[in-house]
Amino acid sequence: MKQSEKEKAKMKSRAWSAGAALVLGCSISVWQGQAHAQPPASTIAEAEIEPYVQRGIDLRKLGRDTEALAIFEDALLKAPSSVRVKVHLAATHQALGQWVEADRYLGEVLRQPDDPYVRRHRETIDKAFQFVDRRLGSLDVVGEPDGAELVLSGRSIGVLPLTAPVRVPIGSYVLEVRKQGYYSVTRPIAMGGGQLLRESVILGRRAPRATVATAAPEPSASDSGGSPRWLTWTLTGAGLLSATASVVAFQIRENHAERWNSDACLQPGFTRGQACAGELDDGRRAERWGIGTGIATGVLLGGALTSFLLEHRAPEEDPTLALEGCGFGVASAGCFGSF
């Protein structure tokens, strides 16, 4: 009886072992089948971008680096983690003299030293990095205030504080540090290959503009609005002189007209037009002077009247005046209103 129970236990143990082996075998078969049916995602991405990579390589062989760059950028969008594409992008930027971009992609590649592609081409990648590094320097700007913008020869390169030095091609530049409310600092810098250049800058704060309240001066009778009194008198005097000149000119014109109409200027053998031509010309000239000075008289006296009406007066001297309009005639000017 005891022997039969032991045999039954052994049979159960064998059955469990066989079942476990069967399950494990099935699992391995399924896993292997899945592994062969679905390759890794990276392999799929590389296969998809292979035509792009080959097209870019062909364009580079033809010297069409700018077109090749666009092809490699499209490939990187489809496979953002592709080390191979980044190496080709770095090489293309290098060929175009775009050292900062080439340095960025090479840096990303070298941060993946265990990648199979990097291991196979490590020596070539290192040489490319050294070649690019000799054409770049690193600029580190420290100082205050936080948030100040760093502008290098017109190109913004970051704000204070920098998280890391900025890679800059070798050459001469003008560095400007600026922030609203602070005085800007501008200084020339020279960047060498493989050099770390550190600049320390502290911006001074601008003093706020003080608003000064000044009391308005007391108005005076001579300068507080309206027309100045001297202008009224000047225009009046000039108008009177012009009127006198006009009267004199017309009087001279009348004298020449009388001589033209009389026999005083006649001469034997000559007509009136021949003998008295000078009287006619002088009379017409005097007439023109009289008209001109008459017009000037009207303008000057009209201006004097306007200036008088607009002249500043003390409150107790000012009558209530409503000026309705002014007008000028041929030889006069005037304003009308209600008092």
Who's near 266: CB < 8 A, 6+ residues apart? 272, 275, 276
- Residue 178: predicted pLDDT: 95
**What DSSP character marks residue 215?**
P
What is the C-alpha to C-alpha distance for residues 127 and 125, in angstroms, rounded to an integer?
Answer: 5
Percent of the chain with pLDDT over 70: 71
Task: Give SS3 for 80.
Answer: coil
Residue 336's pLDDT is 42
- Split at pLDDT 50, 70, 90, the class of 246 is confident
pLDDT surpassing 90 at residue 137: yes
Looking at residue 101, its pLDDT comes to 94
Q: 0.75 cut: is pTM over it? A: no
Tell which CATH classification among 2.40.40.20, 3.40.190.80, 3.40.50.1820, 2.60.40.1120 matches the domain 136-202. 2.60.40.1120
What one-letter code names the amino acid at 57? I
- Look up residue 85 and give its two tokens: 């594409």
In degrees and rounded to multiples of 5, residue 70 shows phi and psi of -65, -40
> Of the ranges 8-17, 48-57, 302-311, which one carries the lowest mean pLDDT score?
8-17
Q: Which residues contact 121 (CB under 8 A, 6 or more apart)?
A: 87
pLDDT at 24: 35
What single DSSP character describes residue 268? T
Closest by CA to 94, choosing from 55, 52, 133, is: 133
Residue 222 phi, psi (nearest 5): -100, -20
For the ranges 167-176, 286-295, 323-332, the maximum mean pLDDT occurs at 167-176
Give residue for tokens 């293309």.
92
Q: Could you read off the pLDDT of 151-190 as tens digits, one per residue?
A: 999 999 999 999 999 999 999 999 999 999 999 999 999 9
Mean pLDDT of the chain: 77
| pLDDT score recorded for residue 43 | 58
Q: What is the pLDDT of residue 38?
A: 39
Three-state DSSP state, 13 = helix
Q: What is the pLDDT of residues 65-115, one digit of tens each?
A: 999 999 999 999 999 999 999 999 999 999 999 999 999 999 999 999 999
d(CA 88, CA 69): 9
| Residues 6 or more apart whose Cβ sits within 8 Å of residue 41 | none
Where is pLDDT greater, at 53 or 248? 53
The token pair that represents 156 in the structure block: 């913004």
Q: What would the mean pLDDT of 31-59 be, rounded to a whole number?
A: 66
The tokens describing 4, both together, are: 């039969």
Residue 44 has pLDDT above 90, yes or no: no
Q: Which one, of 243, 238, 240, lies nearest residue 331 by Cα?
A: 243
The predicted pLDDT at position 182 comes to 96
Higher pLDDT, 335 or 287: 287
CATH class of 41-133: mainly alpha
**What is the gyration radius of the CA atoms in the chain, in angstroms?**
52
